[in-house]
């Protein structure tokens, strides 16, 4: 069983659910934003194969109103579609589907809040930094940190506000990310 085990002072071990990956694919099954938390897919080829497999098996299902749950390749996958985007959360075969669905809904709603309900591929790509920050706020190392969309969106908004720090006060990686963002904005104009 692939679960995180926490040992608390004076208490028995507590088992926490683990997320294997969170995928955001477009209507053609291509990556928009993905994050893997497991070594079950050791290389890019195996990750792309899993993404293609899951997309192919779910593309004809209408999962727009509510999340759907399925077993694919020995994993529990919870998914939901909106516009031209497909949201997926994957857990091991013994994970609780309701917990996975809660993570999916938190991600789905947080993206909706941050993008002001304009959740479509073009808008997500324009705000990819916010979507990736959402993933960081929801799960770390496979362990669920937060599922409340308003809390996730609030934390992402606070982290995004920190990006307005002058270049002279940024680390090299922050400066490169800022430069890349400015270049992308100017290129789009």
Structural domain contains residue 6: no
Q: Is the dihedral of CA 166, 132, 135, 101 positive or negative?
A: positive
Closest CA to 52 of 35, 77, 31: 31
H/E element, 23: strand 19-26
Q: What percent of the chain has pLDDT over 90?
A: 58
Dump pLDDT digits (tens) for 23-67.
Answer: 999 999 999 999 999 999 999 999 999 999 999 999 887 766 788
Structural domain contains residue 102: yes
pTM: 0.77
In this predicted structure, the answer to whether residue 173 has a pLDDT above a threshold of 90 is: no
Structural domain contains residue 5: no
Structural domain contains residue 143: yes
In CATH, what number is assigned to the domain containing residue 51?
3.30.450.60
| Contact status, residue 13 vs residue 7, Cβ threshold 8 Å | yes
Structural domain contains residue 62: yes
* Number of domains observed in the structure of the chain: 1
Q: What is the pLDDT of residue 73?
A: 87
Structural domain contains residue 4: no
Q: What is the pLDDT of residue 16?
A: 74
Give the integer Cα–Cα distance in Å for 50 and 33.
15
Closest CA to 131 of 148, 150, 113, 145: 113
Structural domain contains residue 60: yes
Q: φ, ψ for residue 177 (rounded to 5)?
A: -65, -40
Dump pLDDT digits (tens) for 18-27.
Answer: 999 999 999 9
Residue range(s) defining the domain that contains residue 181: 16-188
Report the chain's terminal Cα–Cα distance, integer Å: 50
Structural domain contains residue 138: yes
| Contact status, residue 102 vs residue 147, Cβ threshold 8 Å | yes
| Contact status, residue 101 vs residue 69, Cβ threshold 8 Å | yes
**Packing angle of the helix pair 149-161, 97-114 (nearest 10 deg):** 40
């Amino acid at each position: 069983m692939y679960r995180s085990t926490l040992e608390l002072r004076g208490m028995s071990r507590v088992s926490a659910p683990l997320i294997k990956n969170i995928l955001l694919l477009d209507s053609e099954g291509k990556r928009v934003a993905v994050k893997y938390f497991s070594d079950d897919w050791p290389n890019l080829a195996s990750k792309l194969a899993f993404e293609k497999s899951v997309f192919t098996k779910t593309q004809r299902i209408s999962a727009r109103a509510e999340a759907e749950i399925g077993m694919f390749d020995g994993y529990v996958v919870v998914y939901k579609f909106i516009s031209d985007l497909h949201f997926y959360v994957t857990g091991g075969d013994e994970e609780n589907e309701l917990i996975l669905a809660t993570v999916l809904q938190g991600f789905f709603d947080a993206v909706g809040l941050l993008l002001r309900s304009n959740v479509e591929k073009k808008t997500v790509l324009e705000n990819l930094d916010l979507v990736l920050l959402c993933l960081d706020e929801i799960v770390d190392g496979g362990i669920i940190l937060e599922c409340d969309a308003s809390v996730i969106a609030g934390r992402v908004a606070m982290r995004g506000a920190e990006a307005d720090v002058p270049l002279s006060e940024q680390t090299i990686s922050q400066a490169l990310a800022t430069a890349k963002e400015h270049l992308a904005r100017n290129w789009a104009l």
